[in-house]
Amino acid sequence: MIDSVSLEVLARYIDWTPFFQTWELAGKYPAILKDAVVGETAVKLFADAKAMLEQIISENWLSAKGVIGFFPANSIDDDVELYTDDSRTEVLETLHHLRQQNIKAPGRANFCLSDFIATKESGKADYIGGFAVTTGIGIEAKLEQFEKDHDDYNSIMLKALADRLAEAFAEYLHEQVRKDHWGYAVDEVHENAGLIAENYAGIRPAPGYPACPDHTEKGKLFELLNVTASTSIELTESYAMFPTAAVSGWYLSHPQSQYFNVGKISQEQLENYAARKRSLQRRCRTLVIRAFALSRPAGSAEVLLQTMAERRKEGTEYGLFSCVIVLLVWASNEMQELVNAAVIESPISAKGFNLGFKPKASAFKPLYRDGHPDGKMNTFSI
């Protein structure tokens, strides 16, 4: 667990531009302070923010916690296998990713995050890292105080600053990873502006964001790093993080790794992705079968919801996607026979989410670096 980083240190890593966007003030910091339209408002807002930030630090309103881990990894098509140790004989977890399918100019690749991990068939030993950080511990007490005082301005200000500190923590920790914990950029030197501009090797994509838009992959990250026990960050049923001033994601070290937007994908890739995520299919299948078994004799939504609640007590958690599928299908009498047949013939739908489609190979030819550190690269806390 990482709990020894002071907020005073993290404050030096704050990117202030998104702070002003929170208040719907357009412009980049520090230029926004001299903007002809919003400059005067921005200056006052910035002064208030700096004053509260000083209070947050001096009076210990908030505290920061985080956890990081590293795993031996190799890619297989659009998936990334994580292994229990450097023998790479036992798969610990499989991360599923999506590939861009938009039409690009000749020679430009349709990216997938797995492109930045050495392929299993290459025989190269690669690694992937993970992290989760929060600076929202302790925020609820202050927010309650502001609410009692009907002080919406300071309530919003505190939330905005906590979010900025969480992003600053992620930036700070990524720098420490590159220079020390992973150590693939020991000689790196950047001012804060350079860090904000991402003038360094490697990326830290977060599940739920454009390069890996599936929020359910966040559950794997939390399990691998034992995030909740280490940091007090919890995942809601819809995979939102609480406290909300939190950031989590993966570390990729490939020198050509970059952020991108997966964008629209075809039905074919969607079906392939669903086939790869078998655990979600089984969950949906169980729910659909149970829904129809219950709804046929009595048609009672209360019975269905009660059963789901009982299963949750037994340790079975349902994501929002699964629940929506069940309730929509349950409500449609016309689809009963179709789905009853589908759950027998196919893991999830009559359209066949088990077609086994293999995406076309990317035009991107990864240049895998040598020099990954040897030794133990399993999960660890600091």
* Distance (Å, whole) CA 380 – CA 382: 7
The answer to the question of residue 275 being in a domain is yes
168: confidence class by pLDDT, cuts 50, 70, 90 = very high
Other Cβ atoms closer than 10 A to 247: 22
Give Cα separations from 77 to 85, 117, 206 (angstroms): 21, 10, 20
**Which tops the pLDDT comparison, 310 or 24?**
24
- Residue-wise over 327-359: b if at least 16 C-beta within 10 A, else e? bebbeeeeeeeebeebbeebbbbeebbbeebeb
pLDDT score of 3: 85
Inform me whether the pLDDT recorded for 314 exceeds 90. no
4: confidence class by pLDDT, cuts 50, 70, 90 = confident
24 by DSSP, 3-state: which? coil
pLDDT score of 77: 96
The answer to the question of residue 262 being in a domain is no
Per-residue 3-state assignment (H helix, E strand, C coil) for 322-373: HHHHHHHHHHCHHHHHHHHHHHHHCCCCCCCCCCCCCCCCCCCCCCCCCCCC
Tokens of 122: 């290459």
pLDDT score of 226: 97
The answer to the question of residue 328 being in a domain is yes
* Distance (Å, whole) CA 233 – CA 222: 9
Task: For residue 362, give every residue at least 6 positions away whose Cβ sits within 8 Å of its Cβ, in sequence order, or none.
Answer: 99, 109, 110, 111, 112, 115
Write the pLDDT tens digit of every residue in 5-62: 999 999 999 999 999 999 999 999 999 999 999 999 999 999 999 999 999 999 999 9
The answer to the question of residue 304 being in a domain is yes
pLDDT score of 283: 52
274 by DSSP, 3-state: which? helix
pLDDT score of 162: 98
pLDDT score of 156: 98
Nearest one of 246, 266, 175 to 206, comparing CA atoms: 246
pLDDT (mean) for 199-216: 96
| CA atoms 192, 194, 198, 203: torsion sign | negative
pLDDT score of 279: 52
* Distance (Å, whole) CA 244 – CA 267: 33
Asked if 346 and 353 count as a contact pair (C-beta separation under 8 A), the reply is: yes
Residue 312 structural domain = 267-345
Inform me whether the pLDDT recorded for 356 exceeds 90. no
The answer to the question of residue 95 being in a domain is no
Write the pLDDT tens digit of every residue in 244-281: 999 999 999 999 999 999 999 999 999 999 999 875 55
The answer to the question of residue 307 being in a domain is yes
The answer to the question of residue 324 being in a domain is yes
pLDDT score of 303: 55
pLDDT score of 334: 37
pLDDT score of 306: 60
Write the pLDDT tens digit of every residue in 122-160: 999 999 999 999 999 999 999 999 999 999 999 999 999
* Distance (Å, whole) CA 103 – CA 235: 36
**Which tops the pLDDT comparison, 352 or 134?**
134
pLDDT (mean) for 310-327: 48
Residue 67: what are its φ and ψ, rounded to 5°?
-150, 145
The answer to the question of residue 210 being in a domain is no
The answer to which of 71-75, 191-195, 253-257, 336-340 has the lowest mean pLDDT is 336-340
Total number of domains in the chain: 1
1: confidence class by pLDDT, cuts 50, 70, 90 = confident
248 by DSSP, 3-state: which? strand
Tokens of 58: 């001096």
**Which tops the pLDDT comparison, 304 or 192?**
192
Write the pLDDT tens digit of every residue in 280-308: 555 555 554 455 455 444 444 455 556 55
pLDDT score of 278: 76
Nearest one of 252, 259, 294, 250 to 130, comparing CA atoms: 250
Tokens of 375: 């030794």
